[in-house]
Amino acid sequence: MATTLTETETVAAAAPVRMDVEDGIAIIRLNQPGKPVNVISAELVEAMHDILARLEGGGEGVRAAVIISEKKGTWIAGADIEQFKDFRTAADGEHASREGQKLLTRLERLVMPTVAAIDGAALGGGLETALACTYRIATDSSKTKLGLPEVQLGIIPGAGGTARLPRLIGLAASLDLMLTGKQLEGRRAKSAGIVDEVVPAPVLLREAKRAALDLANGKLKPSGARRRGSPKFAENLPGLRGFILRKARQGVMSKTHGLYPAPLKLLEVIDRGLDKPVDAALELEAKAFGELAVTQEARSLVHLFFASTAAKNSAPVPEGTKPKDVDHIAVVGAGFMGAGIATVSAESGITVRLKDMKHEAAAKGLRTARETLVKRARRKKLKPFQITAITDRVEATAEYTGFHTADVVVEAVFEELSLKHSVIREIEAHIGEGTVLGSNTSTIPITQLAAASSRPEHVIGLHFFSPVDKMPLLEIITHAGTADWVTATSHAYGKKIGKTPIVVNDSPGFFANRILTPYMAEAATLLEEGVSIEDLDRAMTGWGYPVGPVTLYDEVGLDVAHKAGKIMAEAFADRMTPSTVIDRMVADGRLGRKNGKGFFKYGSDGKKTEADESVYALIGVPQRKSMDRAEIQDRLGLMMVNEAVRTLEEGVLHSARDGDVGAVMGIGFPPFRGGPFWYVDTVGAANVVERLRALEQKHGKRFAPAKMLVDYAADGKKFFPEG
Ligand code: T1G
C-alpha cells in the first residue's frame, strides 16, 4: 500500500539535516538528498541556522548536541564545490566564505557543548564544522579521513580553518596539513590533536551521546580546551614562528615554482591572523578566499576535480552494462610494473596470483611488493601490521594453476609483440569465459594483441603508469571488438584499486603516450639545436611540469623511449620522427637512471647529480645556444596540446574531459592549467592556432594545427562551453 508523505514529511525528507532530541541531547543528523555525499550547500546552511536558533532558544530540555551523518562513507565532504562555478567576482567568493564563517561561529558560540561524531570523510568545510564543535570523536574506519584539501582546489579554507586549526594543534602541524591537503585517518588525527577520541563505527552515536552528557556535566574537558585561543607555546619563541613560515614558504616555492597562488596566500593569511582575535583572522581568511576562488588556477583545479570524479564514476558503455565483481586477479610478469599492479590490487583487498617464468623471479616480484609497502609504512601511509595482511593476498608462482578463478588477468611481460602473443595464448589455455584479459602494454595496439586471442572480445588494454603505487591514472584501451562487460569490469577494477580510469579507443600510443611522444621528440630536437639540458628542463618545470623532459628521458629509460619512439614514428612519421639524439645515447649504452648513465650523472645512491656535459659531444652539438624560455615552452607545450586535440578529432578520446584527466594524471600536464583542452579554452583556440602557425612557419609542418583546433578558432568554440 503506497503511503503518500504529508507536506511536512516531504519537506523533512528533502531537508539535508534534521534534529531529534533523545535523552536531553539534540541529535543533528546530516543526510543530503540526491547526493552520494554531504556537502555544505546553501540549503544546509539555512537548515542549520534554523536548528541553531532552536538550540539557542533552549526550551526543549536540550543540554548538549551531537552532529552525526546518516550517509555511509562521508560526514561532510566540504563546501559544495559546484557553487564555485557561480562566483563571478572576488566579492562573491568572500560572501560565500563569510556565510560559512557566520554559521560555524554561531555553532561554536552555542552555550551547550557540541560533539562532532565523525564517520567517513570530514574534509574542507566538513573539518571546519568539526573544529567549531567542543569535542570531536572519529571512527577507526578506513573511510574516515580528516583534512583541509582546499589548496588542491586553488583556494584556502574559507570557513574558519585558517584560524581554528593553528590555534588547536599549533602552527607547524596545521601548515603541514593545509599546505599538502593530506587526509588523516582517525588514529592519526587523534595523535595530531585534532580529534579527542577514536571509536569503532557501530558505537559512534552511543559514545558521542556519552561524551556530550559528560561535557554538559563538566565531567569531561575537551583536550584542545587548554590550547584554544593561543598557538602552541613553543612556537611563540622569538624567531621560531618566522623560521617555520620561511621554511614552509621555501618548501612551497621549490614544489610549485610559485605557479600556485593559494599556498602562498595561505601562509600570508595565517601569519597575519595568528596574533589577532579570531574574528579579525576570519576577515583576512574570507578576503583571501574570495580573491583565490576566481583565479584561473582555482577554476582549472575545480574543473579537474569534477572531470576526474566524473571519469571515475562513469564508463563509456551502454546504460545497464553490468561490470563483474573483481575479487581475484592474476598478473603475468613479476617485473617492476607487474609487482606494482599486484601491490595496489592486494592493498584494495583483491587476492593476486603473481606469475613469472621461474619461481625465483615471481618471488622477487613479491619482495618488490613488500619493499613498496614498507616504504609507504615509513611515510605513515600504511600501518606496519597491514603489510603482512596485504602481501598474504599475493601468491608468487611459476604455474598457471588457479588462473581459472581469476576475474581479471593482467599481462605485464616485456614489450615485445610475439612474446605477448605467446603469453596470451598460454593464459587463454587456463582461463574461462568470464575472465577479462588485460595487457599492460604502453604502445602496442590492442588490436594487434587481440589478433592472437581465441576470445578477442575479452582482450583490453590496462595501461598503468610507473610507479604504479603513486601514479593515479589507469588508461583503459578498447579495440573494436572489446565486449562492453569487459570495459565496464576493467573500469570498475580501476576504481576499486583507487585509480582514476579513463577509457580510450585503440590507436598507436593510445592517448597518454600519443601526446607525450611529440613533446619528447621536440625536446630531443632542441637538444640537437644546441639548447642545454638545464635550460630545457627549467623551461618546462617553469611551465608547470613536475619534471623536465630530459630528466623524464632518464627516468623512463632511454631504451624504452627509443623503442616507443620507433613504433610511434612508424604511425605518425609527419610529426614524430625521432631525432638521432636518442639513437646515439642508446648506442653509447646510456639507458638513463636505471644504469646510472644518461643525460645526467648519478651518485652511488642512484640519485641524479648534474647534467653530463660529455653528452653534447656524443650527440654532435659541441656549441650550446640559449633560446627564449617562452619559445621552448611553446614548442614542447603546444606539441602536446595539438596532439591531444587530434586524438579527440580521431575518436581515440571519448571526451575532452577524459583528455584533461589523462594528461594531468598520466603524464604530468600542469594541473593549474586544467589539462590541454581546458588550456585551449583558457587562452582561446585562436591564440593557440596563431602560435602554432608561427612555429609551423619557422620549424615546419609538424606544428600544423589540428583541423578541429582551426575550426574551433574560426567558430570561437570551446571544449567546455559551460566553463
Ligand atoms: N562538492 C560537490 N560535489 C562533491 C563534493 C563537494 N565537496 N565532494 C564530492 N562531490 C561529488 C563528486 O563530484 C561525485 O559526483 C560524488 O560527490 C561522489 O564523489 C569552506 C570552500 C568526499 C572523499 O575537496 O575528496 O570545503 O560524479 O566519486 O570516491 O573551506 O569526493 O557522483 O556526480 O569522489 O567516495 C573541500 C572533495 C571542498 C573534498 C568521496 N572538500 N571530495 O570520495 O566519491 S572546498 C574536498 C572528495 C571547502 C571550505 C572550502 C571525495 C570524497 P558524481 P566521489 P568517493
pLDDT above 60 (res 231): no
Per-residue pLDDT at 567: 87
Q: Which atom of ligand 1 is least distant from the CA of 74? A: 22
Mean pLDDT of 651-666: 98
pLDDT in tens, 548-604: 999 999 999 999 999 889 989 999 988 898 779 999 999 999 999 999 999 999 999
SS3 sequence of 68-128: EECCCCEEECCECHHHHHHCCCHHHHHHHHHHHHHHHHHHHCCCCCEEEEECCEEECHHHH
Whether 33 has a pLDDT exceeding 80, the answer reads yes
Q: Among residues 516, 324, 528, which one has the least CA distance to residue 409?
A: 324
Quote the mean pLDDT of the chain: 94
Instruction: Find the angle CA(478)-CA(479)-CA(483) to the nearest 5 degrees.
Output: 70
366-390 pLDDT per residue, tens: 999 999 999 988 887 888 888 999 9
Indicate if the pLDDT at residue 6 is higher than 70.
no
pLDDT digits (tens, 9 = 90+) for 296-321: 999 999 999 999 999 999 999 999 99
What was the pLDDT predicted at 236? Answer: 65
Instruction: Provide the CB-side half-sphere exposure for 458 (13 A, CA).
Output: 21
Q: Rounded mean pLDDT of 599-620?
A: 94
Task: Give the residue, by CA position, lying nearest to ligand 1 atom 24.
Answer: 149
Which protein residue's CA is at the shortest distance from atom 30 of ligand 1? 157
pLDDT band at 228 (very low <50, low <70, confident <90, very high): very low
Q: To test the ligand 1 pocket, which listed residue (40, 81, 266, 299) has its Cβ within 8 A of the most ligand atoms?
A: 81
Q: Which amino acid is at 154?
A: G
Specify the residue with its C-alpha closest to ligand 1, atom 31: 77
For the cut 70, the answer to whether the pLDDT of residue 226 exceeds it is no
Does 392 have pLDDT greater than 80?
A: yes
pLDDT (average), residues 518-526: 96
Q: Which residues are catalytic, by number?
A: 475
Can you tell me which atom of ligand 1 is nearest the CA of 80? 1
Residue in 148, 309, 495, 658 to alter for ligand 1 test, most ligand atoms within 8 A of Cβ: 309
**If you write DSSP's letter for every residue of 170-220 in order, what string do you get?**
-HHHHHHHHHH---B-HHHHHHTTS-SEEE-GGGHHHHHHHHHHHHHTTS-
Would you say residue 233 has pLDDT above 70?
no
Q: Which of 35, 37, 265 has most ligand 1 atoms within 8 Å of its beta carbon, as the pocket-test mutant?
A: 37
**CB distance 73 to 120 below 8 Å:** yes
Task: Say yes or no to pLDDT of 252 above 80.
Answer: yes
Are 275 and 230 in contact by the 8 Å Cβ rule? The answer is no
Tell me how far apart the alpha carbons of residues 205 and 211 are, in angstroms, rounded to a whole number: 10
For atom 11 of ligand 1, which residue has the closest CA? 37
Measured from the Cα of 306, ligand 1's closest atom is 13
All 3 cell numbers of residue 305? 576535480
Distance 83 CA to ligand 1 centre (A): 12
Amino acid at 245: L
* Averaged pLDDT, 84-88: 95
Q: What is the pLDDT of residue 1?
A: 38
Quote the pLDDT of residue 3.
44
User: For the segment 416-434, what is each residue's pLDDT rounded down to a tens digit?
Assistant: 999 999 999 999 999 999 9
Distance between Cα 77 and ligand 1 center (Å)? 5
The pLDDT assigned to 127 comes to 98
User: Within 6 Å (CB) of ligand 1, which residues are found?
Assistant: 36-37, 39, 73-74, 77-82, 100, 121, 123-125, 128, 149-150, 153, 155, 157-159, 161, 306, 309-310, 312-313
**CA-proximal residue: ligand 1, atom 27 (nearest):** 310
Q: Which atom of ligand 1 is nearest to the CA of 79?
A: 26
Report the C-alpha gap between 181 and 176 in whole angstroms. Answer: 8
pTM of the full predicted structure?
A: 0.94
Ligand 1 atom with the smallest distance to the CA of 161 is: 30
Condensed to tens digits (0 to 9), the pLDDT of residues 107-145 reads 999 999 999 999 999 999 999 999 999 999 999 998 999
pLDDT band at 533 (very low <50, low <70, confident <90, very high): very high
pLDDT of 60 over the 80 cut: no
